[in-house]
Amino acid sequence: MSPTVSESEFEDLSRQAEIDGTAPRVGAIIDRGGQVLLLERHDTGPIKAPLKLPGATVLPRESLAEAVARGVREETGLVVTGIRHHVGDFDYLSPDAHPVRRLHFAVDVATTDPIHLTAHARYYWAPLDGELRVTSSIRRILDTYRNLVLG
């Protein structure tokens, strides 16, 4: 059986974000045979925006686990069946200069298709060992994930 993130670990992560004065957001790593699901924003400019992991802003009174499941469902139509690992996080400033902590989790889903996008232009199944058009912060999260699953 895969390890799962405990309720106390979720609570500790939420509490630490609150202590640090950061708004929690979550991201999900969905793995399909060594490829991860990445989403592309709608973009009309000449420079392509980086790809992103599915995720969500944590709503008031919502647990991190609930936010992960909701974010994956809303952005992809996939159903989270388990949250295996807290892979890592990073802090940044939102466009309106508020501190945010993005917490990333490796998740299991009922099935990896079909994907129904609601807020993104397209999706990609990208190999973990390939060149990915992601931010350096997401690259570090994916590298940590790759090391976790490969041992």
In this predicted structure, what is the pLDDT of residue 19?
A: 96
Q: Which of 25, 20, 100, 32 is nearest to 57 (CA)?
A: 25
Q: Give residues with Cβ within 8 angstroms of 126, minimum separation 6.
A: 35, 36, 37, 38, 51, 132
12-71 tens-digit pLDDT: 999 999 999 999 999 999 999 999 999 999 876 777 789 999 999 999 999 999 999 999
Phi, psi of 136 (to 5 degrees): -65, -35
CA atoms within 13 A on the CB side of 124: 16
Map out the domains of the chain as residue ranges.
Answer: 7-150
Name the pTM for this structure.
0.94
C-alpha–C-alpha distance, residues 106 and 28, integer Å = 6
Q: Which residues pair with 19 in a beta bridge?
A: none
In this predicted structure, what is the pLDDT of residue 47?
A: 76
Pick the CATH number of 7-150 from 1.10.1530.10, 3.90.79.10, 2.30.42.10, 3.40.190.10: 3.90.79.10
